[in-house]
Every structure is written in structure tokens, then in C-alpha cells.
């Protein structure tokens, strides 16, 4: 209701302003005052210079302040490439923006209304048209080519030695699973998800590969080695976002996605570089997924490879700390469902007797 009132008030104010403007121009016409038209024309002309110059000065003044809250240099190999591409595009766009807008405002100032002045007319200019078609086309083609090259490198085949981590999004937390010593994940199935019993991933424990899988509270990855995030969601859309590594990939229910990259700086190195002993790499959700979206934060810890191996060795497989799940999987579920059905049928029969 409030929104409706605010909307109506805004419409009312705008129509009043429009009416005032209309009355003023009608009065000017009735009075036939050329002097006033000439004056407002000059003011408008001057504004065509003052406004863009002021905006430019504000941009130049504010840019270094804004730059302080930019992300630090990328902590991944591909991140340096995408950053370079980003800044190249921004530079080209900024130069073009400055040239075209300088022209736009300068012409508006220079050719403001003057009594007796007439615009000159020319039909076309082939040279000019060829120039302003070919130059942007070449620049665009180059930008697209380098972008395509970077993207196909980033999405290239996953190195065999890549360390695999499963990241699952749910409302509202990230869950992280490692494949354990066999380096292979056990199967999972959405029908096995049981938050009350504690099987949040829906792991199929009939699959031998799941026996050494472990679940981590912090996402550890080694520096300088390829890491593969295997991403999925169990309810709605989420999106894996690790800004310091320039990693972003949607987590889609029923459609596994992935992203592989090489981290280049340990958490400790970043703390020294940024002079911030509390710094932590962060994994956030960047797809509004519901009420608790803001809380989907997970810490990523990058360590030296030997430290990583020690950490892995210290982890306890999920099944070891939750032995009640041993052998529980899909066929077990099927059996249970069948028994349930039979019982239901039986009770139905009894009721009909
Ligand atoms: Cu989310």
C-alpha cells in the first residue's frame, strides 16, 4: 500500500513539474521575448561544457579512492589472464567513451542556436564511413578473439593429477566433500538425502568408493597444483564464487558443473601481501537463493602441498565417524520402500475386510 502511495506521489510531482515547465514556455512564446530564449540558450551551451568537465574531474578524483576496495591481484593462474583481458577492455571502452562524449558535448556547445546560422549539408562521405566501420570492427574482433582464447584455455581438459573437491550448495550452506585415499567419490543420489539422520550429501554407502570420502569444515587446497571443483546443488540454483581466484560457476540442481584452476598464493602469503593477519579466502554464493543467501560463506585455505598432504592424512572418513550408515544405500532404500508398500497394502486389505 505504501509503495502505491509513493508511486502516486511521484507521478503527481512529475506532472506538476511538467505543467510548470509548459506554462513557462507558453508565457515566453506569448511575450515573444527573444532575449530570454537567447539567454537560456547560452546557459544550456555553457552547461554542455561545465557538466562533462565536472563529471570527469569527479571521476579522476574518486578513481584512486574506489581502487582501494578493488580485489587484490588474482591468486590463480587463469585469474591473471582474465584480469588482463578485463583491464584491456575497460581501457579501450574508456578511450572510446571519452572521444565520443567529448565530441557529443563539444558539438552541442559549439553549434548552439545562433540567429541566422544555417547548418551545412553533405550527402555522404565514403572514406569516413569506411573508417568508422573498419576500426571498431577490428578492435571488437580482437577483443572477442582474445576472450574466446582465454575462455577455451580456462575450460580446457582437466589435468589428470587435479585434486578433486565436491562442492554442494543447499539452502543455506556450502557442503564440501573430498574423495579420500582412492581419489574417487562414492555415488550419491538425491533419494538418500536425509538431514535428520546426517546424510546431507545423499551418499550411497553401498558404493565402496564412498568408504574413505570425508567431509570438511574448511576447503583446503594446495598451492601450485590443479584443483577441480565438482559443483552441484540439491535444492535451488546457487553459484560458487571465489573472487580472489576469479572463480565463478553456477551450482544447478540435477546438472553437475565444474571448474578447474591453479591457486598461486597460500593464505599466509596473502596475509603478508595485504598486511592483514585476519585475511581468509572466501567462497560465497552469488545467486540469490532465498532468505539465508547472505550466510552462504565458506572459508578456503590455500597451503603448501606438503601441508595439504598432512591435512588430508589427518581427516577422518565420514563413515568412520558415522558407522550407522555402513552398507546403507540405494538397494537398502528400495527394500525399505517395498516393505512399506506391502505394509500399506496389508493395512488397506484389513480395513476393507
Ligand atoms: Cu545460495
pLDDT score recorded for residue 324: 83
DSSP string, 238-287: EEEEEGGGTEEEEEBBTB-EEEEE-B-S-HHHHHHHHT-TT--EEEEE-S
- pLDDT tens sequence across 296-320: 999 999 999 999 999 999 988 888 8
pLDDT in tens, 151-173: 999 999 899 889 999 999 999 99
Q: 251 C-alpha to center of ligand 1: Å?
A: 9
Q: What is the pLDDT of residue 37?
A: 62
Expressed in angstroms and rounded, the spacing between residue 271 Cα and the centre of ligand 1 is 27
Average pLDDT over residues 276-287: 94
Cα(291) to centroid of ligand 1, in Å?
9
What integer pLDDT is reported at residue 237 of this predicted model?
94
How far is ligand 1, taken at its centre, from the CA of residue 71, in Å?
Answer: 22
Look over the chain and give the mean of its residue pLDDT values, rounded to a whole number: 89
Model confidence at 193, pLDDT cuts 50, 70, 90, reads confident
**pLDDT bracket for residue 35 (50, 70, 90):** low
CATH 1.10.760.10 fits 163-334, yes or no: no
E runs forming strands in the chain: 163-170, 173-178, 214-216, 219-222, 227-233, 238-242, 247-251, 257-261, 281-285, 298-303
Task: Place 329 in a pLDDT band, splitting at 50, 70 and 90.
Answer: confident
- Alpha-carbon gap, residue 261 to 153, rounded angstroms: 11
Q: How far is the CA of 255 from the centre of ligand 1 (A)?
A: 16
- Centre of ligand 1 to C-alpha 280, Å, is 20
**pTM here?**
0.76
Query: Residue 32 pLDDT > 70, yes or no?
Result: no
Question: Which run of H or E residues covers position 315?
Answer: none
Distance 1 CA to ligand 1 centre (A): 30
pLDDT band at 36 (very low <50, low <70, confident <90, very high): low
- Residue list, CB under 5 A from ion ligand 1: 238, 285, 289, 293, 296
pLDDT band at 141 (very low <50, low <70, confident <90, very high): very high
Max avg pLDDT among 56-60, 112-116, 191-195: 56-60
Q: How confident is the model at residue 148 (pLDDT cuts 50, 70, 90)?
A: very high
62 CA distance to ligand 1 middle (Å): 33
Q: What is the pLDDT of residues 200-238, one digit of tens each?
A: 888 888 788 888 888 899 999 999 999 999 999 998 999
Residue 92 has pLDDT above 70, yes or no: yes
Q: What is the pLDDT of residues 238-278, one digit of tens each?
A: 999 999 999 999 999 999 999 999 999 999 999 999 999 99
Ligand 1 midpoint to CA 260 (Å): 20
User: How far away, in angstroms, is 246 Cα from ligand 1 center?
Assistant: 18
Compute, in angstroms, the gap from residue 283 CA to the centroid of ligand 1. 11
Q: What's the pLDDT at 309?
A: 92
168 alpha carbon to ligand 1 midpoint, in Å?
Answer: 10
Section 27-54 average pLDDT: 79
From ligand 1's centre to the CA of 173, what distance in Å?
A: 7
Lowest mean pLDDT among 168-172, 284-288, 307-311, 328-332: 328-332
CA distance 252 to 168: 10
CA distances from 197 to 194, 224, 338 (A): 6, 38, 20
- Confidence (pLDDT) at 34: 56
Span from the CA of 304 to the centroid of ligand 1 (angstroms): 30
Where in the chain is CATH 2.60.40.420? 163-334
Dihedral of alpha carbons 29, 32, 34, 40, sign = negative
Instruction: Decide if pLDDT at 284 tops 90.
Output: yes
174 CA to centre of ligand 1 in angstroms: 8
Look at residue 257 in the predicted model and tell me its pLDDT. 94
CA of 26 to the centre of ligand 1 (A): 57
Say how many Å lie between the CA of residue 235 and the centre of ligand 1. 10
Partners of 248 in beta bridges: 241
Alpha carbon of 239 to ligand 1 centroid (Å) = 6
Residue 351 cell numbers, joined: 480395513
pLDDT band at 20 (very low <50, low <70, confident <90, very high): confident
pLDDT of residue 245: 95
Mean of the pLDDT values across residues 181-199?
A: 83
Determine the distance separating the centroid of ligand 1 and the alpha carbon of 294, expressed in angstroms.
Answer: 8
Distance from residue 52's CA to the centre of ligand 1 (Å): 41
Tell me the CA–centroid distance for residue 318 and ligand 1, in Å: 24
The Å distance, Cα 233 to ligand 1 centre, comes to 9
Amino acid at each position: 500500500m505504501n509503495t502505491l502511495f509513493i508511486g502516486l506521489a511521484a507521478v503527481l510531482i512529475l506532472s506538476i513539474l511538467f505543467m510548470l515547465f509548459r506554462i513557462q514556455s507558453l508565457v515566453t512564446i506569448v511575450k515573444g521575448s527573444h532575449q530570454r530564449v537567447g539567454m537560456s540558450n547560452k546557459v544550456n551551451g555553457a552547461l554542455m561544457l561545465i557538466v562533462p568537465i565536472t563529471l570527469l574531474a569527479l571521476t579522476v578524483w574518486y578513481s584512486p579512492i574506489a581502487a582501494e576496495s578493488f580485489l587484490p591481484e588474482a591468486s590463480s593462474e587463469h585469474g591473471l589472464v582474465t584480469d588482463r583481458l578485463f583491464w584491456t577492455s575497460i581501457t579501450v571502452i574508456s578511450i572510446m567513451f571519452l572521444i565520443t562524449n567529448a565530441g557529443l558535448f563539444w558539438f552541442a556547445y559549439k553549434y548552439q542556436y545562433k540567429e541566422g546560422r544555417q547548418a551545412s549539408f553533405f550527402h555522404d562521405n565514403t572514406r569516413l564511413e569506411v573508417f568508422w566501420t573498419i576500426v571498431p570492427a577490428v578492435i571488437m574482433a580482437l577483443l572477442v578473439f582474445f576472450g574466446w582464447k582465454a575462455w577455451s584455455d580456462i575450460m580446457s581438459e582437466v589435468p589428470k593429477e587435479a585434486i578433486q573437491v565436491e562442492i554442494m550448495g543447499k539452502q543455506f550452506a556450502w557442503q564440501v566433500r573430498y574423495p579420500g585415499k582412492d581419489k574417487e567419490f562414492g555415488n550419491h543420489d538425491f533419494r538418500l538425502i536425509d538431514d535428520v539422520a546426517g546424510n546431507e550429501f545423499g551418499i550411497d554407502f553401498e558404493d565402496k568408493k564412498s568408504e574413505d570420502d570425508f567431509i570438511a569444515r574448511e576447503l583446503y587446497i594446495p598451492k601450485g597444483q590443479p584443483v577441480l571443483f565438482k559443483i552441484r546443488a540439491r535444492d535451488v540454483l546457487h553459484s560458487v564464487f571465489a573472487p580472489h581466484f576469479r572463480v565463478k560457476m553456477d551450482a544447478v540442481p540435477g546438472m553437475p558443473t565444474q571448474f578447474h584452476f591453479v591457486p598461486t598464493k597460500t593464505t599466509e602469503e596473502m596475509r603478508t601481501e595485504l598486511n592483514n593477519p585476519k585475511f581468509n579466502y572466501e567462497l560465497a554464493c552469488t545467486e540469490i537463493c532465498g532468505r539465508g543467501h547472505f550466510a552462504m560463506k565458506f572459508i578456503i585455505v590455500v597451503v603448501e602441498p606438503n601441508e595439504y598432504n598432512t591435512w588430508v592424512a589427518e581427516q577422518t572418513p565420514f563413515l568412520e565417524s558415522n558407522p550407522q550408515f555402513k552398507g546403507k544405500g540405494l538397494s537398502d532404500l528400495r527394500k525399505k520402500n517395498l516393505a512399506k508398500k506391502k505394509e500399506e497394502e496389508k493395512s488397506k486389505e484389513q480395513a476393507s475386510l
